[in-house]
Structure 1
Amino acid sequence: MKLLVVSTPLGPLGSGLGGGVEITLNSLVAGLLDRGHSITVLAAEGSSLGPSCQRAELWLRSGRPQLSSQHADREADVVMPADGLLPQFWRAVLEQASSGRFEAVVNLAYDWLPFWLTPTLALPVFHLVSMGSVNAAMDGVIAQVAAWDQRRLAFHTATQAADFDLPGPPVVVGNGFDLDAYGLCLEPDALLGWVGRVAPEKGLEDAAAAAMQLGRRLAVWGLVEDRAYAAAVEASVPAGTLDWRGFLATDQLQAELGRCQALLNTPKWNEAYGNVVVEAMACGVPVVAYRRGGPGELVQPGLNGWLVEPDDTTALAEAVCRVDGIDRRRCRAWVEQEASRAVFAERLEGWIERGLQICR
């Protein structure tokens, strides 16, 4: 297949501004290239693709970043900057609609415009939905596409898909990771870890509270989106509890993350998947997570971590005390079976090919 993959308009690939979509895009592109498909990526100016994606063509566009739906009020109107990346991306897609260069578009952006355009385009558009329900306008336009042709939609987890009004069972593709980029660490340090964008919906304060209860140090990796929030979290625990390590590329992150005894995952909203959960497991790190969103499907209690009830920091701390009973090799084995790049690419290929058979 000849596919045009449209990136997130939140910022350049490689900046961390796109969150988990950046990991998903690189895995999707590399996996489909490995299966013999031709891939072009449409992304923000300043973007770079990972080493395994260099056979893909990269088209760049400039413009103002789109505001994230995740940070909008639930009933907020759709807002698009006139000189924004989002309209630039989809102007480029429209220009290719009758060119014959591509067989399909794969959209990774969680934005209203591409979903709304889908029934009107001659070029088939497939959406890998990257978030759960956060905004009424997005819920509505996803439901409209589902009612028109649900085969155009795929989700990371069944839990995520359950957020939306779908007429039939969802296509669930999970996510994928280049496991060669993650080393298995069997001898961790006495260190807890937390990875994510530092913003209120990610719940860092709960991980900090659990670390404080245990008298343990918590390493924090991720882009600080809300500095006031970060400062408030740090002020809520004794000095030295939090070890701020910043946003790191995968090779650096996995080397440090693998040294953790456990990863704490404490989102305050329904994560669609939970990339950092799988990245930790790929290094052999058990995960202690809230039974909420995608991580509730990924963590298999007693096998690769433990689940506790959401927002219960005492239960979170108690579960950390049980991670030594988990074989770190089994954490890695679960990822190899369920979330490798090859497995992900095969699922994606099947989804798109089935959809194209109908379109033809």
Structure 2
Amino acid sequence: MTTIHLVNPFASAFGGSERRALDYHALLSTDADVILWAESDPDVALAGYPFRRLDPTGGILPHGGTLVLLGTFAERRHWLTRARPERLIIVYNTPELQRLRSLIEFASEAALPEPELVFPSATHRASAQMAGFVDWGFYDFNLFRSAPRPHGSDAFVVGRLSRDKDYKHHHQDVRLYRQLVARGIHVRLMGATVLSERLGGNPAIELLPAGAVPAPSFLQSLDAFVYRTDPIWREASGRVVVEAMACALPVVAGRSGGYRELIVHGTNGFLFDTHNEAIGYIEGLRADRSLAQRVGHAARATVVSQFGEAHIARVREYFLHPPLSTDGPAFR
């Protein structure tokens, strides 16, 4: 049986790399011996998973098999050569290209297998100008689905969720939320306590820490989803955008993220370049609820068709059976 080592710090239960690693573990464990290696003490919220604590000093390391490095943000060169993998896969899902190049160069110098690259979107692959396999990740479309809004205020509610980090928020977002509230729109933000000094105290703006509410329930409390990040952190794919689309929400998103591949502007979502464009699209959705419903239904249809069983089978095949060549169209 193939052994697959999944390596990640597992520092946050809400991080994209962590969730991807756990999804791979669930997908591949029936067909391979899959081991979760934690490079740091895992988030306590992940206590139920069978982690092994990676300890280079004590010699507790992955050995042989397929080694999958999820993310390039951790320093691994001090133990990689001792792992002696038969196959090396790097999941590159953050905008840190120099780190990726450095890791690839090290693998070559250390006579490790030539790294295969996995990207979370074709946009992110193009930005790296390297060949690789694209995997958008897995989504539970039974959990992330449309549901009736909870009873309460009739106000139009716009929101977003992310990790609670400054770079996950655009520097113009505070202004955007204040202007939406001034127009009678309620704003609900999860993973936004970093904005509390600038936005706290307004009853029409709800600020929640990351994970305060299950993501499906949070998304189902919204009428529209708005999303963009700081320009220094270009979103490689945007898992939360896919989840919002799965919940049949009309998405209004900044144009720079990898999620733009999924959005046909005006049909299953809206892409904006300027602050005023974002406000205009949100106002249009509030004024025309039938438009919001049509766009939301089209959004869900898009992600369900693209990331269903055929997508999952393709990813399983990639990890379990090394491709004979990475020169085909699936890798460019």
> How many aligned positions are there?
307
5 Å-filtered alignment, 1:196-235, equals 196-214=162-180, 215=183, 216-222=185-191, 224=193, 227=194, 230-234=195-199
Secondary structure in structure 2 of the residue aligned to 1:314 = helix
Q: Measured at CA, do residues 334 and 159 of structure 1 come closer, stay the same or move farther in structure 2, by a change above 3 Å?
A: same
Instruction: Look up the match of 1:154.
Output: 118
The answer as to whether partners of 2:10 and 2:18 remain within 8 angstroms in 1 is no
The answer as to whether partners of 1:194 and 1:207 remain within 8 angstroms in 2 is no
Q: Distance in 1 between matches of 2:305 and 2:221?
A: 23
Q: Distance in 1 between matches of 2:68 and 2:186?
A: 41
Q: Distance in 2 between matches of 1:106 and 1:294?
A: 22
5 Å-filtered alignment, 1:3-82, equals 3-9=3-9, 11=11, 14=13, 16=14, 19-33=15-29, 36-43=31-38, 44-46=40-42, 58-61=50-53
**Which one-letter code corresponds to 1:337 in the other structure?**
S
For structure 2, which runs of at least 5 residues remain unmatched after alignment?
326-332
Q: Deviations over 1:148-198 (max 9, x none)?
A: 9766111011221223252xx432122211222223225586211111123
Secondary structure in structure 1 of the residue aligned to 2:133 = coil
Secondary structure in structure 2 of the residue aligned to 1:218 = strand
Instruction: Look up the match of 1:320.
Output: 282
Secondary structure in structure 2 of the residue aligned to 1:4 = strand
The answer as to whether partners of 1:154 and 1:172 remain within 8 angstroms in 2 is yes
Q: Deviations over 1:230-281 (max 9, x none)?
A: 234316xx8234201222277x221121121111111122111101101111
Secondary structure in structure 1 of the residue aligned to 2:60 = helix
Instruction: Look up the match of 1:280.
Output: 244
Secondary structure in structure 2 of the residue aligned to 1:126 = strand
Cα shift at 1:318: 0.9
Cα shift at 1:346: 2.3
Q: Distance in 2 between matches of 1:122 and 1:264?
A: 42
Secondary structure in structure 1 of the residue aligned to 2:128 = coil
Q: Measured at CA, do residues 246 and 346 of structure 1 come closer, stay the same or move farther in structure 2, by a change above 3 Å?
A: same
Cα shift at 1:339: 2.6
Instruction: Look up the match of 2:95.
Output: 132
Instruction: Look up the match of 1:92.
Output: 60
Counterpart among 337, 341, 360 of residue 305 in structure 2: 337
Q: Deviations over 1:271-295 (max 9, x none)?
A: 1110110111111112111110212
Q: Distance in 1 between matches of 2:127 and 2:102?
A: 11
**Which one-letter code corresponds to 2:91 in the other structure?**
L
Q: Measured at CA, do residues 115 and 258 of structure 1 come closer, stay the same or move farther in structure 2, by a change above 3 Å?
A: farther
Cα shift at 1:204: 5.0
Counterpart among 65, 69, 73 of residue 107 in structure 1: 69
Instruction: Look up the match of 1:351.
Output: 318
Q: Distance in 1 between matches of 2:42 and 2:103?
A: 30
Instruction: Look up the match of 2:215.
Output: 253
Give the TM-score normalised by structure 2: 0.77
The answer as to whether partners of 1:26 and 1:50 remain within 8 angstroms in 2 is no
Q: Deviations over 1:103-134 (max 9, x none)?
A: 31222132364478768824322122121236
Q: Distance in 2 between matches of 1:156 and 1:247?
A: 22
Secondary structure in structure 2 of the residue aligned to 1:270 = coil
Q: Distance in 2 between matches of 1:59 and 1:286?
A: 38
Q: Measured at CA, do residues 223 and 212 of structure 1 come closer, stay the same or move farther in structure 2, by a change above 3 Å?
A: closer
The answer as to whether partners of 2:162 and 2:191 remain within 8 angstroms in 1 is yes
Secondary structure in structure 2 of the residue aligned to 1:107 = strand
Cα shift at 1:92: 3.4
Cα shift at 1:4: 3.0
Q: Distance in 2 between matches of 1:321 and 1:257?
A: 19
Q: Measured at CA, do residues 258 and 170 of structure 1 come closer, stay the same or move farther in structure 2, by a change above 3 Å?
A: same
Give the TM-score normalised by structure 1: 0.72
The answer as to whether partners of 1:282 and 1:332 remain within 8 angstroms in 2 is yes
Q: Deviations over 1:184-238 (max 9, x none)?
A: 22558621111112323222553442232233221111274xx4xx234316xx8
